């Protein structure tokens, strides 16, 4: 069972071997409101930790999603093209954004655990 870690920018990341799945948290999805479009990176793109990896558009505004770790994009959630509402319905499951091959899993230690993230959100 892999552990999910969280960023201060409200992304979640779940590492399985050297492949990580990334999405936005339930808190972020609630704050954004209805998601109408998600712009995902192309497979094969190299992203650096904290660089822009995706853009999520709600009715109201566009928001950046940053790569929680450095690595290479290996898959994207194609289902979001037709049904971006999955991000609101199941942000930490079927509403995942992309998966990436992580180049330095040591970076994971800098991210928050579920408990730490819950405390962080409470303080906002």
Partner 1 sequence: MRRTPLRLLDRMTAADLRQTALHALHVAAGARMVPFAGYDMPVQYKPGILQEHLHTREAAGLFDVSHMGQAALIGPDHATTAAALERLVPGEIQGLGLGRMRYTLLLNEKGGIEDDLMVTRGREPADDGVLLLVVNAARKEHDFAYLRERLPANVRLVTFEDRALIALQGPKAAAVLARHAPVVADLGFMTATSALCAGLACHISRSGYTGEDGFEISVPGEHAVTLAECLLAEEEVMPIGLGARDSLRLEAGLCLYGHDIDETTSPVEAGLTFAIGKRRKIEKDFLGAPRIMAELFDGAQRQRVGMRLEGRAPAREGAAICDDTGTALGTVTSGGFAPSLNAAIAMGYVAPRAAKDGTPLQLIVRDQPRPASTAPMPFVPHRYFRRKEEAS
Q: Which residues make up the interface to partner 1 (CB under 8 A)?
A: 8-11, 24, 28, 31-34, 36-37, 39, 55, 57-66, 84, 124
Closest approach, Cβ 112 to partner 1, in A, equals 13
Task: Give the whole-angstrom CA distance, residue 51 versus residue 35.
Answer: 21
DSSP one-letter code for 51: S
Task: Give the whole-angstrom CA distance, residue 116 versus residue 43.
Answer: 31
Smaller CB separation from partner 1, 63 or 103: 63
From the CB of residue 72, how many other CB atoms can be counted at a distance below 10 Å?
Answer: 15
Closest approach, Cβ 10 to partner 1, in A, equals 5
Closest approach, Cβ 81 to partner 1, in A, equals 8
Closest approach, Cβ 85 to partner 1, in A, equals 9
Q: Is 107 helix (H, G, I), strand (E, B) or coil?
A: helix
CB 65 within 8 A of CB 32: no
Smaller CB separation from partner 1, 57 or 90: 57
Question: What are the residues facing 14 on neighbouring strands?
Answer: 4, 21
């Amino acid at each position: 069972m892999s552990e999910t870690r969280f960023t201060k920018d409200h992304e979640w990341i779940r590492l399985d071997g050297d492949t990580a799945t990334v999405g936005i948290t339930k808190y972020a999805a609630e704050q954004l409101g209805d998601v109408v479009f998600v712009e995902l990176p192309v497979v094969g793109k190299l992203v650096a930790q904290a660089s822009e990896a995706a853009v999520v558009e709600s009715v109201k505004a566009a928001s950046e999603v940053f790569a929680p770790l450095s690595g290479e994009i290996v898959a994207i959630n194609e289902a979001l093209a037709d049904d971006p509402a999955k991000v609101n319905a199941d942000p930490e499951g079927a509403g995942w954004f992309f998966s990436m091959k992580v180049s330095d899993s040591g970076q994971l230690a800098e991210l928050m655990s579920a408990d730490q993230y819950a405390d962080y959100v409470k303080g906002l």
